[in-house]
Amino acid sequence: MKKHGSEIAMEEDKPKITRLTDGAGSDIEVAGQWRLIWLKFRQNRVALFAGWVIFFFYGVALFCEFLAPTLPTVAQPRLTYAPPQEIGLFIEDETGQRRFQLHVNGYAMTVDPESLRRSFTSDPANIIPIGFFVRGEAYDMWGLIPMDRHLIGPLDPSDQMNLLGTDKLGRDMLTRLIYGARVSMSIGLIGVISSLIIGTVLGALSGYFGGWVDLAVQRLIEIISAMPTIPLWLGFAAAIPLTWSPLQVYFIITLIVSLLAWTSLAREVRGRFLSLRREDFVTAAKLDGSSTGRVIFRHILPSLTSHILAVTTLAIPTMIVAETALSFLGIGLKPPVVSWGVLLQDAQNIRTISSAPWLLIWPSLAVISVVLAFNFLGDGLRDAADPYDS
C-alpha cells in the first residue's frame, strides 16, 4: 500500500535503527537521523571533550552548596586579599615520620607600618588538615534539604581554607566561584530557551505564511537589530526598581538578554521554511488534511531540529558573555547575587590587579573555559548535523 506523506515524514524522524528487507530476502540495517548524528559526532574528539567540560560545569552549578567549602557570604576580616593556599600531601608527626595527610599551611601576616597594608606568607608551622565529606557551615541543598557536609574542607570547622585566595572582605574565592557557576550557567541556558522559543515560532510563521506576516516579523527583526546594545541595556537597567529582590532582578536580566538574542535564529528558521514549504512531503501532508500547526510543528520543524540544536549550543556562550559584560559594567546583576560577572566587577581596580590578581584570573578562566567548550561543542554538533558534509 502506498504511504501518505505524513507517514513518510514520521518514519524519517525515528532515531532508532530499523530493519528493511531487500528483494533477495536479506536484512539491511538503516540508522535514523539522530543515530547518524551521534555516530559522526563521537568521532570529533575535541567536541566530545568539550561536552564533558560543559557537563562538569553544570554539575558544579547543580551541586554548588555541597561542593563549596563554605558559604559565599562568610567573611574573614583578618584575611582580606589573602593569597591562594597550596595543598600538601605529607606531614611529619611528633616522631619525625612522614605520613599521608592532605593539608594546607596557614597564613603568617605582617602589616606595613607606613601604608598599613597587610601581606601574607605561608606558615609551615601552622598546618591545617583537610579532608573530604567534612562538616562545616550549614546550608539548605537546593533550598530544600538541610545539610552541613561539604566535599572538601578543614577537619576542624574553626580552621580556614582558601585554596583560591580571598576577596576584599575575606570571603573564600573558590566558594564564590562555585556559587557563581549556578547563576552564570543557568542564565545562559534560560536565556537561550526563551530566545529559542521566540525565534523559532516567529521565524516559522514568517517563512511559512509570507506576505504581511513575513513583512511584520522582518521589520521587527530589523528594528531590534538596529538598536545599539549598550545604551539599550543601560536603559533597561535604569528602569529596574531598586526595591526589587535579587531573584526578580535575575529574571529581568535573563529576559533582557533573551529579547535581544532571538533575531538571528528567526532569520535562519525563516530561510529554511521558505525552502521547505514547497517540498513534496509538505504538500502531501496538506493533501492528507493536516492542519497548518501540524504541518509547521510536526513535519517541517523536525527536519530543522539538528540545525536548531547546533545554533542553540553556539548561542549559550553568547548569553553567558552578555550577563558577564552587564554585571562587569555594573548594569546587570549586583551583590548579594554571586555570578562570574559580579566577581569580575570586584576586580576593577589597580590594587586588585597588582596585589590580588587571583580575583581577576579565576572568574576569567571560568568564563573562557565555558565559552570555548560551548563553541567547540556547537561546531561539532553543526558538522555532525550537516547531511551534505562528507
CATH (domain of 337): 1.10.3720.10
Q: Are 271 and 334 within one domain?
A: yes
Is 140 strand, coil or helix?
Answer: strand
The three grid cell numbers given for residue 332, joined into one nine-digit string: 546587570
Cα separation of 358 and 356, whole Å? 5
Give yes or no for a contact between 329 and 221, defined as CB atoms under 8 angstroms apart.
Answer: no
Q: Are 204 and 323 within one domain?
A: yes
Domain count, the chain: 2
Q: Are 157 and 186 within one domain?
A: no
| Residue 139 maps to a domain | yes
Q: Are 239 and 300 within one domain?
A: yes
| Residue 144 maps to a domain | yes
| Residue 284 maps to a domain | yes
Structural domain range at position 85: 76-166
Q: Are 103 and 129 within one domain?
A: yes
Q: Residue 52 belongs to what H/E stretch?
A: helix 45-62
Q: Residue 144 belongs to what H/E stretch?
A: none
SS3 content of the chain, % helix, strand, coil (to 5): 55, 15, 25
* Matching residue, cell 539538528: 306
Cα separation of 12 and 319, whole Å? 33
Give residues with Cβ within 8 angstroms of 222, minimum separation 6.
none
| Residue 11 maps to a domain | no
Q: Are 184 and 148 within one domain?
A: no
| Residue 326 maps to a domain | yes
Across-strand partners of 145?
141
Is 152 strand, coil or helix?
Answer: strand
Q: Are 131 and 220 within one domain?
A: no
| Residue 343 maps to a domain | yes
Q: Are 234 and 319 within one domain?
A: yes
CA-based torsion, 114, 120, 126, 129: positive or negative: positive
* Matching residue, cell 568564563: 367
Across 295-323, b (16+ Cβ under 10 Å) vs e yields: bbebbbbebbebbbbbbbbbbbbbbbbbb
**Structural domain ending residue among the three candidates 136, 166, 196:** 166
Select from 90, 122, 82, 92 the least CA-distant residue to 106.
122
Cα separation of 312 and 196, whole Å? 7
Looking at residue 20, its pLDDT comes to 46
The three grid cell numbers given for residue 209, joined into one nine-digit string: 505564511
* Total-model pTM: 0.81
Looking at residue 269, its pLDDT comes to 87
Give yes or no for a contact between 135 and 148, defined as CB atoms under 8 angstroms apart.
Answer: yes
Is 24 strand, coil or helix?
Answer: coil
| Residue 259 maps to a domain | yes
DSSP state of 297: I
Mean pLDDT split into 10-residue runs, the chain, 390 residues: 47 48 50 76 90 94 93 89 90 80 89 80 88 91 90 89 90 93 86 86 88 91 83 75 76 78 85 85 85 84 78 81 77 81 81 83 91 89 67
**Structural domain ending residue among the three candidates 134, 166, 198:** 166
Q: Are 247 and 130 within one domain?
A: no
Cα separation of 205 and 88, whole Å? 61
Q: Are 218 and 302 within one domain?
A: yes
Overall size of the chain counted in residues: 390
Give yes or no for a contact between 318 and 261, defined as CB atoms under 8 angstroms apart.
Answer: yes
| Residue 266 maps to a domain | yes
The three grid cell numbers given for residue 60, joined into one nine-digit string: 558544579
**Structural domain ending residue among the three candidates 166, 186, 208:** 166
Across-strand partners of 80?
none
Give yes or no for a contact between 299 and 289, defined as CB atoms under 8 angstroms apart.
Answer: no
Q: Are 363 and 217 within one domain?
A: yes
Cα separation of 130 and 139, whole Å? 20
Q: Are 99 and 193 within one domain?
A: no
